[in-house]
Copies of this chain bind each other. A is one copy, B any other.
Amino acid sequence: MSVLVVGSIAFDDIETPSGRAKGVLGGAACYFSLAASYFAPVRAVGVVGSDFPDAHLEFLRAHGVDTQGIYRSEGSTFRWGGRYRESLNERDTLFTDLGVFDGFNPDLPEAYHDSEYVFLANIHPSLQLRVLEQAHAPRFTAMDTMDFWIEGAREELERTLARVDGLVINDQEARQLTGERNLVRAVGAIRSLGPRIVIIKRGEHGALLFDQEGIFSAPAFPLREIQDPTGAGDSFAGGFVGALAREGKLDSGALRRAVIYGSVLASFCVECFGLDRFRELESQQIEERFAHFRALTTF
């Protein structure tokens, strides 16, 4: 089953307590695509500038990512710089140069119209809706968003939320979106906006899934060292949607297993800078860590 993702493609400058990386490939669409690629064929939609090396596209294609939905525009690729604090839970954005991402106008290639699993990474909610409308018969749709759109594009955001099956969002954003401090009540308020499935990402504390059958709590994997948290949330989403597509079911059991696969991919992602962990990661390691998650939670 095919997975479609739309989102940013970027060059990142990253500083963490473990080191730094400059101009490395990043962006939600890349993290998502690579994570999901371990489970299903992925179709990526995004924009890059004239400075974007073909080698990056080849890297994605080597992982089974269809890149025909990534178009090239005259100008610079989106650049982002961030510095993580000692706790790794907080980061300061050092700069954001939108470049060609500013005029991003996602149009799906004809071959993408039949995509069955659609993920709308964090872009303007109107663009998310535009992509959604081009997918003819998706089996499952989900989206992410951020504080910037919650504050600045509330109406468009609610229109898009009303159309998706699932929302994957972090705890602070869930509170901001609903004005509810308590997460159980916040999720109730989110569901009244549309999504029947809500996943709350809590960073080092794991994730909560709210579905038709109740609540599922997934831990984060306890790691001795985290090199770089960048992309953990998008890798989670990629693992989650990818695993759902591979299993082909949407019952509560499938959703729970997919949340664990999402957590597995996020846990690998943060072990190295940028996307580096995905250069070496093998499917067998993913299955092994999935088993570790079972050992971590069984009583």
User: Which residues of A pack against B, CB within 8 Å?
Assistant: 86-87, 181-185, 202, 205-206, 208, 214-219, 222-226, 253, 256-257, 259-260, 294-299
Chain B residues within 8 Å of A299, by CB: 216, 218, 253, 256-257, 259-260, 294, 297
Q: Are B295 and A181 in contact (CB under 8 A)?
A: no
Q: A202 touches which one: B87, B205, B253, B294 (CB < 8 A)?
A: B205
A297 interface neighbour in B184, B185, B216, Cβ under 8 Å: B216
Residues of B close to A296: CB separation below 8 A: 214-217
Knowing A256-B299, A299-B253, A299-B256, say if A184 contacts B223 (CB, 8 Å): yes
Q: Which of B185, B222, B253, B257 contacts A208 (CB 8 A)?
A: B222
Q: Given contacts A202-B205, A205-B205, A222-B208, is CB(A297)–CB(B181) below 8 Å?
A: no
CB distance from A270 to the nearest CB of B (A): 12
In the bound complex, do residue B214 and residue A295 qualify as a contact, i.e. CB atoms below 8 Å apart?
yes
Q: Which B residues are in CB contact (< 8 Å) with A298? A: 256
Contacts known (A205-B202, A214-B295, A256-B299); A181 close to B219, Cβ less than 8 A? no
A183 touches B216 (CB 8 A): no
B residues in contact with A295, CB < 8 Å: 214
B residues in contact with A219, CB < 8 Å? 206, 217, 219
Which chain B residue lies CB-closest to A215? B222
Chain B residues with CB under 8 Å of A297's CB are 216-217, 297, 299
Contact A222 B183 (CB under 8 A): yes
Residues of B within 8 A of A183 (CB): 222
Give the Cβ gap from A291 to chain B, nearest Cβ, in Å. Answer: 12
CB distance from A81 to the nearest CB of B (A): 23
Residue of B nearest to A297 (CB): B297
Complex Cα gap A62–B297 (Å): 36
Q: Would B185 and A224 count as touching, CB distance under 8 A?
A: yes
Q: How far is the CB of A2 from chain B (nearest CB, A)?
A: 25
In the complex formed, the residue of B with least CB distance to A188 is B224
Known pairs A182-B224, A202-B205, A217-B297 / 17 extra A-B pairs, C-beta < 8 Å: A183-B222, A184-B222, A184-B223, A185-B224, A205-B205, A205-B206, A206-B217, A206-B219, A208-B222, A216-B297, A216-B299, A217-B219, A217-B222, A218-B299, A219-B219, A259-B299, A260-B299
Q: Can you report 17 residue pairs joining A to B where beta carbons are below 8 Å apart? A: A86-B181, A87-B181, A182-B223, A182-B225, A183-B222, A184-B223, A202-B205, A205-B205, A214-B296, A215-B222, A217-B219, A218-B299, A257-B299, A259-B299, A260-B299, A294-B299, A297-B297
A181 to B16, CA, bound (A): 14
Write the nearest CB–CB distance from A95 to chain B, whole angstroms: 26
CB distance from A265 to the nearest CB of B (A): 15
Min C-beta distance of A249 to chain B, whole Å: 14
Whole-angstrom distance between the Cβ of A37 and the nearest chain B Cβ: 23
- Closest B residue to A259 by beta carbon equals B299
